[in-house]
Structure 1
Amino acid sequence: MITIYLYIYIYNPGVGKSPLNHGHGLNQAFNKFAYATHYSTMAMASTKILEVTHVAPFTATTHFTLPLTSFDTLWFKFPPVQSLFFYSLPKDTTFFLNSLLPKLKHSLSLTLQHFLPLAGKLTWPQHSPKPIALYTPGDVVSISVAESNADFYTLSSNQPFQASKVRPLVSPLHVSETGVSVMALQITVFPNKGFCIGLTTHHGVGDGKSATMFIKSWAYLTKENNPPLLPEKLTPFYDRTVIKDPSGFEMKVLNYWIGNPGSTSSDCRNNPKLFQSESSQSSDLDELYRTIFELSRSDIDKLRRRVTNPNNLHLSSFVLTYAYMFDCFLKATDGDKTKSKVFLDFAVDYRNRLTPPVPENYFGNCVVIKANYDDMREEESTFTVLVEKVSDLVKSVGKEKDLQSETEEVISRIIATSSENCCHVGVAGSPKLELYSIDFGWGRPKKVVFVSIENGAISMAECGDGSGGIEVGLVLKKHQMDLFASIFINGLN
C-alpha cells in the first residue's frame, strides 16, 4: 500500500481532530488550526472471487407476483441501490469461512422466504400491461464470496481513498433475455481484519427503506435464536391496494422512461435493457476520491445559530446538514466547467404522508423527489440562502395540490437536464434508517458506505458512535476534496 500525506498547516498550538474524522474535540476556541489529510492509493490491492453460490428462499414453493406502482416506476431507470457494511472479524479468517459464512447463508435463506421479490426478477410478461417483480420457484439470489488484500482499516474509515477501490466489493445485477435480477450480494473477507457485505438492489422494486428492512431482517435472523419469525416492524407489507392511482399515473411515468409517451410497445417487453439504468458510474474513478465527513450535534447547533432571519424556517438537522454540505460543494467545485449547473434535489419518504397512510413496513418504493431547479451556481447561494431553499422544499412536503403533476414535472426536468452539463446533488440514505444498528451478532458496523454516489450525490447516515451526529459521504476529484475539506473545517470555526 502506498500512503501519501497532504499537509495543510496553519499555526495552532492545540490541534484538534482531522476534519475527515471530525468529532467533538474539533471545535475548540482556536482561530487557527492544522490538519493532515491522509490519502491512500492502495496501489497493489486486489479482490479475488473465492466462490459464487446461489441461495434460494427456504420452503418457498409457489409463485409470487408484485405489481409495480407509480412510486416504483418513478425510480425504474435510476441506478441500483448499493451499500457496503463493514464489520470487524471476531476471530480469524478460518473461523469466518467455516462458521460465520455458512450461518450467513442459512439465515439468508430464512430471510428470503419473507422477501420473495428479492429472489426474483424484474420482468415484463406478454400478458401484463406493465413490468412486475416475479418470483418463480427455483429462483435464487447470487452471492459472491471474495477475498481482498486492500487496507480494511482505510476502507472502513473516514479517510479519503480512490473511489474505484470499493467497486470490486459489490456485485452487479444479472441481466437475462427475460429481465433483470432484483438483488445481488457479495461478502468480501479481509484476512484476519474484517469483512464487508455488499448489497445491490434494483431501485424499481424497492427504496432505501425497503432495502434496509431486508438487511435488518437478515441480521435479526442471524443473531436471534428463534428463526424464522420476524417482528412486525421487519415483516414486509406487500399489499399494493394501499397505493391509490385511479388515473393510471404509473403508466404515464413508465412511458416517460421508455421514451414512448403514446403507448407501450411490445418491443419494450422483449428488451432487457429496459430494466437497466443509464450508467451513473464515472469513467474516471481512479481520479475520484471518496471521504466521509462528520457533523457533531454541537456543529449542527452552531450552523443553526448562524442562520440569519431564522423565523418561519424549518431548521432540522437534515436541512442544516444538506445546506452546509451543498455550500461547501459549490465552493469546492466552482472551477468545474463539466458541471456548470447545479441543482438541489432529495427524496422524501411518503409512507406516513399519503391519505390514508401506508404502513411503515410497506415494501416497495414510496418516496417522492423534491427539487429546486434554480441553478445554484447562478444564485447568490450563501449558506443562509441555501437553508431557505431547502427549508422551503421540506415545508412543501405533503402540501402538494397535485402530487402527480409535480412528480411529472420533476421527471421531465430530470430528463431535460440529464444531457446537459448539470449536477443533481441528491441525497442517498438517511440518519433515520439507523444503519449502524444492523448487528448480525458480532457488533455494530465499523462503517457503512454508499457506493453509487460518484456523480455528485452525497450520502447521509447517523454517526456510527451513537453520538447523535451525522456523517456525510461524497466523491470528488482530489484537488476538489482538498479544497472541500479546508472549506468544511473553516466554516465550522
Structure 2
Amino acid sequence: MANQVVVRHISRCSIKPEFVSDESNKSFHLNPWDISMISTHYIQKGLLFPKPPPATNDNDPSITIINHLKDSLSRTLVHFLPLAGQLVTHKHDDPPSYSISISLDCKNAPGVDFIHAIADVTTSDVLSPVYVPLIVVQSFFPLNKAVNHDGHTLPLLAVQVTEILDGIFIACSLNHVVGDGTSYWNFFNAYQPRVALRDKFFHFSSQSIARLKAKANSECNTTTISSLQALSALVWRCVTRSRRHLPSHQKTSCRFAINNRSRLNPPLSPDYFGNFIQTVSATATVGELLSHGIGWAALLLHEAVNDHTDSKVRGWLEAWMMNPFIYQPGNLFDPCSVLMASSPRFDMYGCDFGWGKAEAVRSGSANKFDGGVYSYPGRIGGTVDLEVSLPPESMKALESDTEFMEVVSPSHYHRMN
C-alpha cells in the first residue's frame, strides 16, 4: 500500500547564499577528476529523522521547521558557494587546435532548489520491508534521473524535505562534478540546526566484523587486512556465488571507490571540496574466487589498496592530461563484478538538526546497478550497513547464502520493533 503513496509537493523555491563576497563571486575551474564525472548521475543520499517535538510557542511546527532549514541552507551556502552556481562550457577556437573547458560560474548563481513535500507513510513503511520500497524512497529525492551534464541548466544541488506521518526525510541531490562522497557529507554535516533491481540493507555488528577480519588475517597468516577489506571480500564471494549463471572461467572484479586525499605526498587536506576519488580493483576468475577462502580474496583487495600510492595518483593525472576522457555509466558497471562505494568512515550520523540522531540513511535511484554496494556506518558505533543492489533472483540467492548470512546481524531498527 505504501508503494502507491504519492508524495505531494507543498512548495518549491530557490535558496541563495546569505551573502557573497566580491572575492568569492567568480568562476571556478574544474580539475580532471571533476570533468571525468560529467556523464554520470547526481549523488543522492538522505537521512530519515523522527519527527521533532513541537516547541511550546509554535503555532505551526511544520512551517517553523521548513523556515529553519531554508535559513540554515542559506547560511551554509556561504561556505559552499559553488553549489549555488551552474556549469558553463567554454569553447576555444584557435586553429589548428580546438578545446572545450567547463567551469563553475558563481557570478550569476541561480541558487539551490528547496522542495517541501508531504507523504502519508510512516517510518515503518520505509524501514520494515525486506526490500527497500523503491517507489516511496525514490520519491523523496529531487532531480531523479539527472546526469551531471544537466548542471548547465539544472541546479547543482537540490534539497527535498519530506514530512511523513511520524518523521522527516531530508534528501539532497548533488551534481557529482562538484563533489564526491567526502565532499557531500562534509556539506551535509555543515548543513545543520533501475526498477528491476532490488535494494536491501544488511547490518553487520562490530563483533561480527571483528570475527570476519580475524578469520581473513588468520587464513593469510597476516595482520594487515582491514575490516572493510574482509567485509568486501565476503560480499564479492557471496554475490558472485549468487549469480548462478556465471561460468567458472568468467573473470570478476571487486572495485573500491578510494579517496585520494590521504594518498598524495604530501597529503591533501581532508576538507578539500571536489572530486578526488578513483577506483582500485582485484580480479580473479569465478572458479578461483570460490575455490579459495575469504582470506585469499581479502588479500587481493589489500594488495590493490596498498599499491595505490602517490605515484599512481599522479600517473593517472598525467595520462588523463595526455588523453582526456569522461566516464560513461554503461562502461562503469560490470554485471559480473562488484563495486564497493561510499564509506563507513563518512560522518553520516553526526548530522544533528536539533531533533536527535537520525534513525537511518537511505539513498535515491541514482547510481544503482547490478552489483553496486554502498557502505554506511551503522547507527551504533562500530557497526556497518551495506546497501546491496541485485536482480531479484540474485538477491534471493544471496539471502539464502550460508556464508553471507552467518555474518549478517539483526539491525537496530528491527530490534526496536
TM-score range, shorter chain: 0.7 to 0.9
| Separation in 2, partners of 1:358, 1:148 | 42
Residue correspondence of structure 1 range 29-428 to structure 2 within 5 A: 42-60=2-20, 62=22, 63-91=25-53, 95-126=60-91, 129-156=100-127, 159-172=130-143, 178-191=152-165, 193-219=166-192, 222=193, 282=194, 285=195, 287-307=196-216, 308-312=218-222, 314-335=224-245, 342-372=252-282, 374=283, 376-377=285-286, 379-381=288-290, 382=292, 383-398=294-309, 400=311, 403-405=314-316, 418=331, 422-428=335-341
1:170 Cα shift? 0.7
| Separation in 2, partners of 1:475, 1:358 | 32
SS of equivalent residue, structure 1 residue 198: strand
Pair 152,406 (structure 1): closer, same or farther in 2 beyond 3 Å = same
SS of equivalent residue, structure 1 residue 352: helix
1:435 Cα shift? 0.5
- Is the Cα–Cα contact under 8 Å of residues 198 and 391 in structure 2 kept in the other structure? yes
1:288 Cα shift? 3.1
| Separation in 1, partners of 2:155, 2:47 | 21
Q: Give the one of 390, 394, 412 matched to 1:480.
A: 394
Letter in 1 for 2:380: D
Structure 2: any 5+ residue segments left out of the alignment? 93-98, 410-417
Letter in 1 for 2:155: S
- Is the Cα–Cα contact under 8 Å of residues 429 and 460 in structure 1 kept in the other structure? yes
Letter in 1 for 2:158: A
Residue 96 of structure 2 is matched in structure 1 by none
Residue 413 of structure 2 is matched in structure 1 by none
1:194 Cα shift? 0.5
Percent sequence identity over aligned pairs: 22
Residue 461 of structure 1 is matched in structure 2 by 376
- Is the Cα–Cα contact under 8 Å of residues 7 and 139 in structure 2 kept in the other structure? yes
- Is the Cα–Cα contact under 8 Å of residues 3 and 136 in structure 2 kept in the other structure? no
| Separation in 1, partners of 2:213, 2:389 | 26
| Separation in 2, partners of 1:411, 1:326 | 31
The two structures have a TM-score, normalised by structure 1, of 0.70
| Separation in 2, partners of 1:442, 1:416 | 38
Letter in 1 for 2:34: D
- Is the Cα–Cα contact under 8 Å of residues 120 and 181 in structure 1 kept in the other structure? yes
Pair 422,389 (structure 1): closer, same or farther in 2 beyond 3 Å = same
Residue 37 of structure 1 is matched in structure 2 by none
SS of equivalent residue, structure 2 residue 394: helix
Q: Please provide the CA RMSD for this pair.
A: 3.2
- Is the Cα–Cα contact under 8 Å of residues 352 and 360 in structure 1 kept in the other structure? yes
- Is the Cα–Cα contact under 8 Å of residues 122 and 167 in structure 2 kept in the other structure? no
Pair 99,360 (structure 1): closer, same or farther in 2 beyond 3 Å = same
| Separation in 1, partners of 2:255, 2:199 | 21
| Separation in 2, partners of 1:302, 1:351 | 30
| Separation in 1, partners of 2:90, 2:386 | 41
- Is the Cα–Cα contact under 8 Å of residues 15 and 112 in structure 2 kept in the other structure? yes
- Is the Cα–Cα contact under 8 Å of residues 154 and 161 in structure 1 kept in the other structure? no
1:161 Cα shift? 2.9
1:397 Cα shift? 2.3
Letter in 1 for 2:36: L
Letter in 1 for 2:169: C
Pair 346,400 (structure 1): closer, same or farther in 2 beyond 3 Å = same
Matched length: 384
| Separation in 1, partners of 2:17, 2:224 | 44
Residue 268 of structure 1 is matched in structure 2 by none
- Is the Cα–Cα contact under 8 Å of residues 122 and 181 in structure 1 kept in the other structure? no
Q: Give the one of 347, 351, 354 matched to 1:441.
A: 354
SS of equivalent residue, structure 2 residue 79: coil
Deviation per residue, 1:155-196 (Å, 9 max, x gap): 2458423333321111115977954432111111103x0011
SS of equivalent residue, structure 1 residue 166: helix
Letter in 1 for 2:225: L
SS of equivalent residue, structure 2 residue 286: coil
